[in-house]
Amino acid sequence: MKSDRSIASLVGNNDLRIIAVTVLYLAAAQVGLWLAYPGIGNYPVWPASGVALAMMILLGYRIWPGILIGSLITYAIVFIKQDVTMNINAVLAVTGISVANVVETLVGYKLYNILITKDSTPFERTANTFKFLFITLLVALIGSLVFTLSINDTWLTGQNFDRESFLFNYLAEVSGLWLFTNFILSFVKGKTHWRLSWFSVSEAAFFTMAIVALLFVMNSPDLSMALERSFPFLIIPFLLWVAFRSSIQAAATVVLVISLYSVYISVHGSGPFVLADPQNSLLLLQLFVIVIGVTTVILSAAVYERTEAKRKLEKFNENLEEAVVERTKELDEEIKTRKRTEQKIRVSNMELRKTNEELDNFVYKVSHDLRAPISSILGLVNIAKHDNTLENMLACIDQIEKSAKTQDNFIKDIIELTKNARVKPKRQKIDFKKLVEETFAYVKYSTNTRPPRPKLHLQQKKEFYSDANRMKVIFNNIISNAIKYSPPGRTEIDIDVEVLNGHAKINISDKGRGIDKKYQEDVFKMFFRATDTNAGSGLGLYIVKETVDKLKGNITLESEVDKGTTLKLKLPNMAPRRGRVRKV
């Protein structure tokens, strides 16, 4: 606010502040002198008191010399205009009145700091408004009492104490303190809460025109005296309007304008407050000014306090709703996190149970399948000891070789299973033609049979990357099973490979004996054997399934008894991405 900046510029230099206060005090006093009531010489309103107290509240007690100087000049001029001889009594009277004004302001300033928050205007809370009314009524006694004694008592005229003059001076002090202190503090220290809008501007314009029209009608000579006397009552709805609909600053301004206007027309002999007796006229005018000023400001403070409480309550509700929404989000996230954790725990428990079951089964099978070849070898050795003919020895050696190979194959299966579980997949370029050739060469070497040439159908336009060792394990086990469980002469194996965007489809088909439907769901389980003929370790397809899962692929089986079996694999391409890959 501009007033805040102007006040701030004066704070740094006390001499400038004193000069500014002196000028403001003299201007306010001149307004009061200008509005002196004719016939009795008293003042309906004394603005200088309100300006002095407002300046001291804003600038601090150190500006008291400005009030003193302004008061000395003012009352010296008053005495001179009233043709008072400036003797020692007159000088003492002027000095006493000026000192009383300073004391009045200092007492008001001290009480204000004690009873009311220093950093806020007293007219925004109802309790503070009543406290300031108490301060006004109390400190006005000081200046009015000293002024009455100085003007009417033995100090100058030797007359007795004039109670009516004291009452007029007291009410002038009260109205001046209330109206002008309120007006100044509400603009300088108040929280401006005007909301500029077309509606508010229109409402302010309509209010102003209505007030002007009312004042014009009241001053019209064509109206009856009864209507003219009704002005104090007709103005009340407008004061209620401004108190309920507008700001504290607007209420203070309207009250001040109406009060000064009422004083002005009364001083010039018109309006509802002019009676046959000037003293009664002045008293009626002063009471009207004080009543409308106090009532409107207190009502405006109550409305503002209620509005602020409503605004804070709405803000609290908004914050509460935001907090509830935020907390709800947090709870939802917490619930989701808990559900995810529970799901992970369930999956982990299922995997753990599966692992435990497989481990128990594995331990049992391993102990059995490892000991079986050894037991067979020991039995053959015992037979060889009792029958050492050449023919028997050769037969035993042949059986011992088969048992040793069985045990070796079983151990290899276990090693492959362990590697698949522990070693992370590597990204390597896969040559399917080379992979198939190496697989058939290995099968030929490991089985001592002559497998058929593979029928490879390869459709590949893009490079395919995967783990080469795991791909060998997959092909070795599938093709070994195809040869092992196919009757002689029906070992035809078709291998179809199609490399697409992002993955490869691999189908490996044989013309073997096939697998009964009741066993097809179990063929990928550990140690499962669909037949005892040419029974291996039962780990082949289990290793294939685990390896495919490790590569994040999937495998399915289609089989028909006496017609053959097809294993269908879908493996992701682990090639480095150079851009977004379109899925097929």
Res 106: pLDDT: 94
Q: What is the DSSP string of 91-103?
A: HHHHHHHHHHHHH
273 is a domain residue: no
Distance CA 94, CA 187 (A): 33
- The top-scoring range by mean pLDDT among 7-11, 85-89, 401-405, 541-545 is 541-545
pLDDT digits (tens, 9 = 90+) for 75-102: 888 888 777 777 787 788 888 888 989 9
pLDDT above 70 (res 155): no
Task: Find the DSSP H helices in 540-582.
Answer: 540-550
- The amino acid that residue 365 corresponds to is K
| Radius of gyration of the CA atoms of the chain, in A | 55
CATH number of domain containing 153: 1.10.1760
Res 10: pLDDT: 45
Distance CA 222, CA 354 (A): 109
Distance CA 254, CA 180 (A): 12
- The top-scoring range by mean pLDDT among 238-242, 276-280, 570-574 is 570-574
Closest CA to 242 of 232, 234, 252: 252
pLDDT above 80 (res 560): yes
Distance CA 547, CA 567 (A): 14
In total, how many domains does the chain have? 2
Domain encompassing residue 556: 425-572
Q: What is the DSSP string of 309-328?
A: HHHHHHHHHHHHHHHHHHHH
| pLDDT greater at residue 207 or residue 368 | 207
68 is a domain residue: yes
Q: How far apart are the first and last CA of the chain?
A: 69
Average pLDDT over residues 165-180: 90
Pairing of strands 465-466, 428-429: antiparallel
Residue 507: strand, helix, or coil: strand
Which residues partner with 500 through β-bridges?
A: 503
Distance CA 292, CA 540 (A): 104
Res 1: pLDDT: 47
Please name the residues in contact with 28: beta carbons below 8 A apart, sequence gap of 6 or more: 47, 48, 50, 51, 52, 180
CA dihedral 386, 387, 392, 393 (to 10 degrees): 60
Half-sphere exposure of 240 (CA within 13 A, CB side): 6
Is residue 472 within 8 Å of residue 428, measured between CB atoms?
no
Token pair 């309103």: residue: 45
257 is a domain residue: no
Distance CA 107, CA 69 (A): 18
**Which burial class, exposed, middle or buried, applies to 520 when counting CB atoms under 10 A from its CB (0-12, 13-18, 19+)?**
middle
254 is a domain residue: no
Percent above pLDDT 70 for the chain: 72
Closest CA to 17 of 30, 8, 4: 8
Distance CA 156, CA 79 (A): 11
Please name the residues in contact with 452: beta carbons below 8 A apart, sequence gap of 6 or more: 491, 492, 493
Average pLDDT over residues 6-17: 65
Token pair 């992979």: residue: 435
Closest CA to 507 of 566, 435, 571: 566
466 is a domain residue: yes
**Structural domain ending residue among the three candidates 191, 206, 226:** 191
95 is a domain residue: yes
Is residue 149 within 8 Å of residue 265, measured between CB atoms?
no
Q: In the predicted model, what is the mean pLDDT of the chain?
A: 78
Token reading at 80: 């001179």
pLDDT digits (tens, 9 = 90+) for 482-533: 777 777 665 678 889 998 888 899 998 888 888 888 777 777 776 666 665 5
State the Cα angle at 389 between 384 and 392, rounded to 5°. Answer: 55
451 is a domain residue: yes
pLDDT digits (tens, 9 = 90+) for 97-138: 889 899 999 999 999 988 886 656 677 788 888 889 999 999
**Structural domain ending residue among the three candidates 134, 164, 191:** 191
The number of angstroms, rounded, from the C-alpha of 425 to the middle of its chain's C-alpha atoms is 46
- The top-scoring range by mean pLDDT among 246-250, 257-261, 266-270 is 257-261
The number of angstroms, rounded, from the C-alpha of 514 to the middle of its chain's C-alpha atoms is 67
pLDDT digits (tens, 9 = 90+) for 453-489: 678 888 888 889 988 888 888 888 888 777 777 776 6
Token reading at 165: 């003059």
Distance CA 483, CA 479 (A): 6
30 is a domain residue: yes
State the Cα angle at 538 between 533 and 541, rounded to 5°. Answer: 110
Closest CA to 485 of 445, 555, 536, 450: 536
Average pLDDT over residues 355-374: 60
**Structural domain ending residue among the three candidates 134, 168, 191:** 191
Percent above pLDDT 90 for the chain: 13
Res 534: pLDDT: 52
Distance CA 90, CA 61 (A): 28
- The amino acid that residue 560 corresponds to is E
Token pair 């039995």: residue: 379
CATH number of domain containing 430: 3.30.565.10
* pTM, full prediction: 0.56
Instruction: Label residue 69 by pLDDT band (50, 70, 90).
Output: very high
**Which burial class, exposed, middle or buried, applies to 163 when counting CB atoms under 10 A from its CB (0-12, 13-18, 19+)?**
exposed
